[in-house]
Amino acid sequence: MSEIVTYETDGHVALITLNRPEARNAVNGDVAAGLEAAIDALEADTEVWVGILTANTEGQTRPVFCAGADLKEINAGNGAALGTKRGGFAGFAYRERRKPIIVAVDGLATAGGCEIVLAADLVVATTRSSFGLAEVKRNLLAGAGGLFRLPRAIGKSAAMEAILTGDPIPAQRAYDLGLVNRLVEPGEAVAEARRLAAQIVTSAPLAVYASRAIVLASAYEDDDTLKKMTNKAFAEVTSAEDTKEGLMAFIEKRAPQWKGA
């Protein structure tokens, strides 16, 4: 990982930070490689169960979580470097992973920045945040999942308006439409994301990972496929050591001590 994307852990939670505030955290090749490396570290560490993805907005008059693709890089012919083979745009948009990621947004998430948000699992945002797919204003397309993930998140009509006008969705409306899980005051996004992560890590990690996968699949798989996925995951999870621990903790009226196995 590079300093342009930082990674740190605290117990079972990892904090990943986009660290290019002077460029509004726009994605270049270094950001894509750094974010992919951070996800690699998250997935590989058996002691880390949840990730938080945020951005450094220090020195910005109008905070920007991420302005999307670095258009200077695209104009210079370096567009291919803005994605990775495994993760797609920013090394993240299409990355397969097991562990949930909470995105903590304090500012504008536009174009590819919004697509990064849509690729996460949960969204904590401040009241000064907004979310938009502005590509049509530049004769471009939101090519990193935004055109199908935004309708899934907020419904077709609201998404169609945002996509065709290119205008950002204010935080309150994004919350009302279901894109944002928790809405907080400016400067409080990471703290609230940590509180949400702390709640998640009280649950059994294997069950969390399996449940996440099925919820995501519910957007495009039929009921019969989802039933088979659920039955398979149920058998795998309930045969794990943590299931016995969960049952004993309930019987003994104590907090479970999960091993992730």
Question: What is the set of active-site residues?
Answer: 115, 135
Q: For residue 185, count other CB atoms closer than 10 A to its CB.
A: 12
* Distance, CA of 62 to CA of 102 (rounded, Å): 23
Q: Hey, CA dihedral for 202, 204, 205, 210, is it positive or negative? A: negative
Do residues 119 and 98 make contact, with C-beta atoms less than 8 angstroms apart? no
Q: Name the nearest CA neighbour of 206 among 245, 233, 226, 244.
A: 233
* Distance, CA of 119 to CA of 83 (rounded, Å): 14
128-150 core/surface letters (b: 16 or more CB in 10 A; e: else)? bbbbbbbbeeeebebbbbbeebb
CA 88 to chain centroid, in Å, comes to: 14
* Distance, CA of 68 to CA of 136 (rounded, Å): 14
Residue 147, classed as helix, strand or coil, is helix
Q: Name the nearest CA neighbour of 166 among 129, 144, 133.
A: 133
* Distance, CA of 34 to CA of 3 (rounded, Å): 8
* Distance, CA of 167 to CA of 150 (rounded, Å): 14
Q: How far apart are the first and last CA of the chain?
A: 28
